[in-house]
Amino acid sequence: MTTLPLERPRARARAERRERVLLAPITVTPSKPLTPSHLKGLLWTDVMYRATRELADVTFRSSQTTYHPTEQTLGFWEFLDRTHGDREYAECSEEEIGELYVAFRAEGTRAPAEALRPYADAVEHGWVHPASRRVLGLWSGHYAGLGLHDPGLLAHQPPGLGLDETIAWLSALGLCVDLREVGGPVHLDTTRFGLPLRQIVTADGRPNYLACALRELMPLTADFDEVVLLYDRELGPDHQQLAHVLALLGPRVRRVPIGRVPIDGRVRSARHGGWQDNHAGALLASARAGYAEPVVRLGMRLYFIATLGPGQAQSFDPALVRQCLKRAERLLAAAADTDPSDDLAERLARHRKDHVYVDPYRLTSSLLGRRGPVPGHDLLSAVFL
Amino acid sequence: MSREESAAQERLREAAAARIRAARPELADAHDLTSAEGLIAVRARIAEEAAAPEHLAAVVVGRFDLASWARATCEFALGLGPEQAAAWRRSFTRTVFLAGNPDNLRERFSFAHFADDGSAAWTGPGPAADSAGLRRLLKLFDGPRPLPVRADTVVEVPPRAGRRPDRPPVHRELHIAASGCRVSDALVHLNHLLAEAVLDGLIRPGDTLTIRHVPRLTGLTDHFAALRVDTDPTLPGRLRAAAGLTEEALLVPHHRP
């Protein structure tokens, strides 16, 4: 007589048919240091990616190439070349390049479309301005330090559709008003869902980030069961429209807005600067001075995910970061070796609702629970370290 | 100014005055419409009122097709009831052009008319509040490119099914001055010209229009039954014809039996 193993119907059902999930976070423009708001989004997405990977086939798509054609990036590059000529960027710090970005935004003038065209064309062929290449190189170092999955910061990852093709796809779906023939702009049209017309290409042919997102995501989504859009809360209306468009192509689309991190009570755009002492490089350096790498990685996740939560009510607080690092040190010291029959996928699967992705906030907060079992090494190393 | 030029300016002033008289007789009575100054004063009065328009129609344009749009404009105006038409006329057939896909809006908004090919849709003229929701959802139609000069295009205003026409169908030419005219301007000029020609009975169901693009309507103003008059952009203080609808053309190319 044989003994049947304990039934785990849920985990098994998942294992038989792994769902395909696309994580598509909004990218950060490579023109400045990573601020606490950026870090929060990156850590949030990383935990979601690594946890969901245990349960489903996950593709993490975050292409810098896709978003270079936006005006804020091309305009910055044109500004650098126009005002600083042959400056050498390979030795610049993120802060120095960030200061130049602040100067660019302060200039307030919009370069004519013709001035940006060579930059836009070069991007399509894999070119990146040395200043942004430098920033992306420095970010790669921060990603490595924080244990973040690198989705290809320095890789040329062009979107699957050109701008004209994207507009043709949208037109075929009745989702755009294309006035290019009469010299006008292109609007995304989700009015059938009661949402207002949204311009995606200006009359002189400049695409905005929503047009770039459509170029990338429209050809990708059909291959997935679930698409998760992660974005700054204030970009909610655009992502609502994007979600409607992608859902028409087949998958379930989930929107995960992430609140920004106020500094001294104010949510400020990076275009104004003000990242001194609290950008990723500085934070990492000060945490590493007192703690080992695994502690830093877990501590940052405890702070930016579990402590700050999805909203944006709490200002950045270095004292709380230190507390989280101490807490991480204790958690790692107490971490248990788990029974191999206590399936990690099943433990992760508890932290979701009707979606396939694992909710990073619920999962990370569960580490801080006073009751319940101590987190296992397997969970920590798979998701948090 | 030569004698011919003076005569043409006089003719344009008359056309402008006739338009004001038809829409707002009380404004016509209060100003001397035979002088350029009088016309300018009335224009200023009307411009002040434009801030709080009484009645307006909204046209949703998804794709610009001049012939289809011109035909549908006539059909729309022909479909208006007498009271609606009178109220709209008093507001100088004020119309807002919006960019949008009519198909996507059918369920949420009620339209008075759709172009046959679905490229445009019209809301009945009414108080601005009636179309506020639609105007909030959409954006103004932006067509800054110069109006392309095309070969003549024949447009037939569909006859009214099951009803005998009240006069034999006629054929007219619709001239549009393309020089310095953006697509957006052409929509405005032709919309007023066609709508008011319908309200005046110059265009009836079953009529045929030949759209002709010309650089400027120079020296032709005598032959027009209706003119759309605008200030001349290059000659200060002068008027010019932005568009015109001719008297009946002598030859009706395809006469409907």
| CA atoms of A228 and A218, how far apart (whole Å) | 13
Q: Do A182 and B143 touch (CB under 8 A)?
A: yes
Long-range contacts of A325-329 (CB under 8 A, 24+ apart): A325/A287, A325/A290, A325/A291, A325/A295, A325/A296, A325/A299, A326/A299, A327/A299, A327/A302, A327/A368, A328/A291, A328/A294, A328/A295, A328/A296, A328/A298, A328/A299, A328/A302, A329/A291, A329/A295, A329/A299
- Could you tell me how far CA A172 lies from the centroid of its own chain? 29
Closest partner residue to A191 among B104, B143, B145, by Cβ? B104
pLDDT recorded at residue A9: 41
Record: contact A196-B108, CB cut-off 8 A = no
Locate the DSSP E strands across A153-243.
176-178, 186-188, 198-201, 226-232
Nearest to B60 by CA among B79, B43, B76: B76
CA distance B92 to B20: 8
Residue B122, beta-bridge partner list: B59, B113
CB of B124 within 8 A of CB of B87? no
Predicted pLDDT of residue B82 = 95
Chain B positions touching chain A (beta carbons under 8 Å): 62-64, 99-101, 103-105, 107-108, 136-139, 141-145, 182-184
Test A192 with B100 for CB contact under 8 angstroms.
no
Question: Do the strands B120-122 and B113-114 form a parallel or antiparallel pair, or are they unpaired?
Answer: antiparallel
Tell if the CB–CB gap between B105 and A177 is shorter than 8 Å: no
CA distance B231 to A45: 60
pLDDT per residue as tens digits for the range B19-62: 999 998 888 888 888 887 888 888 788 777 766 657 999 999 99
Residues whose CB falls within 8 Å of the CB of residue A196, separated by 6 or more in sequence, listed in order:
B136, B137, B138
Among residues A86, A62, A370, A339, the alpha carbon closest in space to that of A213 is found at: A62
Is B145 in Cβ contact with A183 (below 8 Å)?
Answer: yes
Using a CB-CB cut-off of 8 Å, the residues of chain B touching A197 are 99-100, 137-139
Query: What is the pLDDT, as a whole number, of residue A1?
Result: 42
Q: CB–CB of B137 and A196 under 8 A?
A: yes
Q: Which two tokens stand for residue B179?
A: 């020089």
Chain segment B126-158, per-residue pLDDT in tens:
999 999 999 999 999 999 999 999 999 999 999
* A-chain residues near B182 (CB < 8 A): 183
- CA terminus-to-terminus distance, chain A: 44
Residue B220's pLDDT is: 64
Cβ distance A191 to B103 less than 8 Å, yes or no, reads no
Contact residues, chain A, for B139 at CB < 8 Å = 187, 197, 199
Query: Which residue in chain B has the smallest CA separation from A185?
Result: B142
> Number of A:B CB contacts under 8 A?
64
Give the residue on A whose Cα is nearest the Cα of B62. Answer: A177
What are the pLDDT tens digits along chain A (385 aa)?
A: 444 444 444 444 445 679 999 999 999 999 999 999 999 999 999 999 999 999 999 999 999 999 999 999 999 999 999 999 889 999 999 999 999 999 999 998 889 999 999 999 999 999 999 999 999 999 999 999 999 999 999 999 999 999 999 999 999 999 999 999 999 999 999 999 999 999 999 999 999 999 999 999 999 998 999 999 999 999 999 999 999 999 999 899 999 999 999 998 888 877 777 777 889 999 999 999 999 999 999 999 999 999 999 999 999 999 999 999 999 999 999 988 877 778 899 999 999 999 999 999 999 999 998 777 788 999 999 999 9
pTM for the predicted model, two decimal places: 0.90
Interface test with B, best of A170, A171, A179 (most B CBs within 10 A): A179
